[in-house]
Amino acid sequence: MKIKVINQSKHPLPEYQTPLAAGLDLRANLDEPVSLEPLERKLIGTGLFIELQAGYEAQIRPRSGLAFKYGLSVLNTPGTVDADYRGEIKVLLVNLSNETFVVQDGERIAQMVIAKHEQIQWDTAETLSETERGAGGYGSTGKS
Ligand SMILES: O=c1ccn([C@H]2C[C@H](O)[C@@H](COP(=O)(O)OP(=O)(O)OP(=O)(O)O)O2)c(=O)[nH]1
Ligand SMILES: [Mg+2]
């Protein structure tokens, strides 16, 4: 599918890195490097503006390599970009390591997955159907 995009960044449009990839890597669009101290969070701009089709969202997720090697994550993962949002796509990075992480301009800091979603209407009720699980959760089925 096609998605309308305005690229005000200094970088090429996000690309799928492999033929069947789900995520498009997002690059930081910075005037200068940005430091993240341990447990610090910062909004990083991408310089990208998109117009999603109705019924679609863009999810902003961490990159596993950055998470594994540097403890870098996306605080609100998966971030939700609504189809009616017209602002700049931003990434809320958080440094969960004990060391300062420096984000460089153009670095691939997160990935974006375009996903279909539903919008619902509430069907207010007095009771819900019975199931085997019932209200069990949070480990109710055991460990092994
Ligand atoms: O990682 C993200 C998450 C959100 N957004 C943008 C697009 C989204 O449509 C808008 C609002 O996001 P969200 O609904 O998660 O934030 P909110 O705190 O509920 O703000 P609002 O009251 O504006 O909805 O911010 C991003 O650019 N990146
Ligand atoms: Mg919201």
Residue 53 DSSP code: P
**Residues forming beta bridges with residue 27, ordered by sequence position:** 108
Mind listing the pLDDT tens digit for each residue in 99-118?
A: 999 999 999 999 999 999 99
- Of all protein residues, whose CA lies closest to atom 24 belonging to ligand 1? 82
| Burial of 63 per CB tally in 10 Å (0-12, 13-18, 19+) | buried
Q: What residue has token string 């004990």? A: 98
The verdict on the CB of residue 51 being under 6 Å from ligand 1 is no
What is the model's pTM?
A: 0.96
C-alpha span between 103 and 77 (Å, rounded): 18
Q: Is 81 annotated as a binding residue?
A: yes
Q: Which ligand is nearest to the CA of 82?
A: 1
Q: Is 65 annotated as a binding residue?
A: yes
Q: Which ligand is nearest to the CA of 43?
A: 1
Q: Which ligand is nearest to the CA of 58?
A: 1
- Of all protein residues, whose CA lies closest to atom 28 belonging to ligand 1? 90
Tell how far the Cα of 18 is from the centroid of ligand 2, in angstroms. 32
pLDDT by residue for the chain (144 residues), tens only, comes to 999 999 999 999 999 999 999 999 999 999 999 999 999 999 999 999 999 999 999 999 999 999 999 999 999 999 999 999 999 999 999 999 999 999 999 999 999 999 999 999 999 999 999 999 999 999 999 999
Taking Cα atoms as reference points, which of 120, 14, 23, 108 lies closest to residue 70? 108
ipTM of the complex: 0.98
Q: Is 76 annotated as a binding residue?
A: yes
pLDDT at 61: 98
Q: In whole angstroms, what separates CA 120 from the centre of its chain?
A: 23
Tell how far the Cα of 63 is from the centroid of ligand 1, in angstroms. 19
Q: Which residues contact 50 (CB under 8 A, 6 or more apart)?
A: 3, 4, 5, 6, 58, 81, 89
8 A C-beta contact, residue 34 and residue 28:
yes
pLDDT at 113: 98
Mind listing the pLDDT tens digit for each residue in 135-144?
A: 999 999 999 9
pLDDT at 27: 98
